[in-house]
Amino acid sequence: MKIAFFELFSQEQEAFKKLVDSLPNLKFITTRSTGFEHIDLKYCSDKGIKVSNVPFYGSHTVAEFTFALILNLSRNIISANNHLRDSMDFNFYSSLKGFDLHGKTLGVIGTGRIGKNVIKIAQGFEMNVLAYDIFPDAKFAEENNFAYKSLLEVLAESDIITVHTPYTKENHHLINKENISNMKKGIFVVNTARGALIDTEALIWGINKGIIAGVGLDVLEGERDMKIESEIIGSYGSEQIDYKMIVENQILIDMPQVVITPHIAFYSKEAEDRIIKTTADNIRMFIWNEPQNLIK
């Protein structure tokens, strides 16, 4: 039995099908991620290919990183560090004035394992919590003293919102221009889930309009297109690069109100160990004809 390891950049169905067709003996795919939107499950099913993922590896890891972004936004830590490095000036400046998380309202969009851990951390800061989920967990809400509300209510009433939903075609641009216009003025937006959950053009619009005071992003819409163009074309000759998205992402990166990291919220030693172990277990169990963590 031969095992192939490869990295798939494209989410386009045709690119995926071309790659699968180039491996006529392929019987099993295991992705080293929880998300699997980059895999055409129907095409795999039609070809009799089983697919597994790593369903749980970073629920605490990503939640902790979410608050790293929130704290950077609330206390201007990166700006203060850069200012000191550039000037060695220890005087206070109004641009570095932050705000307390205590008493603020955190809106959590998506209350799976990561979202639940974010809520628990928020309680340590004595924040008020509102949440939105299409499958609300009433018992967890009662035990942790927060309320579920509609998406629009959460956006309108929160001082900070953080996104923790999986990406599907149905929730593409879950945060968009229409509902950004209904946000509380001065809101802060954090996304450590998937870039396409937020409409980038609308996000820039909200910042320029003064609705959104700050943004913390570990993911970008179209972030794969931000890779070196020659690398993408060299790997996938038919790759269509969205240059409009590249320009919009560059605008975001250059905005002083925005903190962006390169999709590393999951990247801790412990989480990496869990990913490797689960992926190896997936392969081993498939060989033993007892596949686990199958995506159906």
Give 140-187 pLDDT, tens digit per residue.
999 999 999 999 999 999 999 999 999 988 999 999 999 999 999 999
| Same domain, yes or no: 244 and 136 | yes
C-alpha 208/C-alpha 102 separation (Å) is 27
Burial grade of 143 (CB within 10 A; 0-12, 13-18, 19 or more):
exposed
- pLDDT class of 244 with cuts at 50, 70, 90: confident
pLDDT at residue 189 in the model: 98
pLDDT of 77 above 90: yes
What are the Cα distances from residue 191, in Å, to 46, 51, 87, 221? Answer: 34, 27, 31, 11
Residues 6+ apart with CB under 8 A from 35: 53, 166, 167, 194
- pLDDT class of 58 with cuts at 50, 70, 90: confident
pLDDT at residue 5 in the model: 63
pLDDT at residue 234 in the model: 47
Question: Would you say residue 45 lies in a domain?
Answer: yes
Question: Average pLDDT, stretch 225-243?
Answer: 56
Tell me the pLDDT of the chain averaged across its residues.
90
What are the Cα distances from residue 277, in Å, to 41, 54, 61, 235? Answer: 23, 9, 16, 28
C-alpha 74/C-alpha 86 separation (Å) is 21
| Same domain, yes or no: 149 and 239 | yes
pLDDT of 10 above 60: no
pLDDT at residue 87 in the model: 87
pLDDT of 208 above 90: yes
Q: Work out the end-to-end distance of the chain between its first and last CA atoms, rounded to an integer number of angstroms.
A: 24
Question: Average pLDDT, stretch 114-143?
Answer: 98
Backbone angles phi, psi at 29, to 5 degrees: -125, 130
Q: How many structural domains compose the chain?
A: 2
pLDDT of 227 above 70: no
| Same domain, yes or no: 98 and 199 | yes
- pLDDT class of 13 with cuts at 50, 70, 90: confident
| Same domain, yes or no: 214 and 88 | yes
What Rg value do the Cα atoms of the chain yield, rounded? 21
| Domain extent at residue 155 | 59-260
| Same domain, yes or no: 236 and 159 | yes
What's 30's domain CATH number?
A: 3.40.50.720
pLDDT at residue 152 in the model: 97
pLDDT at residue 123 in the model: 97
Positive/negative CA dihedral, 209, 211, 216, 222: negative
| Same domain, yes or no: 84 and 150 | yes
Give the model confidence (pLDDT) of 17-48 as tens digits: 888 999 999 999 999 988 888 889 999 999 99
The residue with greater pLDDT, 168 or 93, is 168
DSSP 212-271: EEEEEES--TTGGGGS-HHHHHHH-TTPPP-HHHHHHHHHHHH-TTEEE--S-TT--HHH
C-alpha 269/C-alpha 113 separation (Å) is 19
pLDDT at residue 238 in the model: 45
Q: Which residues are catalytic?
A: 194, 223, 263
C-alpha 133/C-alpha 109 separation (Å) is 6
pLDDT of 232 above 60: no
Question: Average pLDDT, stretch 77-87?
Answer: 89
| Same domain, yes or no: 254 and 236 | yes
Question: Average pLDDT, stretch 125-133?
Answer: 98
C-alpha 202/C-alpha 114 separation (Å) is 25
Question: Average pLDDT, stretch 190-216?
Answer: 97
| Same domain, yes or no: 153 and 185 | yes
pLDDT of 267 above 60: yes
- pLDDT class of 229 with cuts at 50, 70, 90: very low
Question: Would you say residue 1 lies in a domain?
Answer: no
Query: Which of the 8 DSSP states describes residue 158?
Result: -
Question: Average pLDDT, stretch 113-122?
Answer: 97
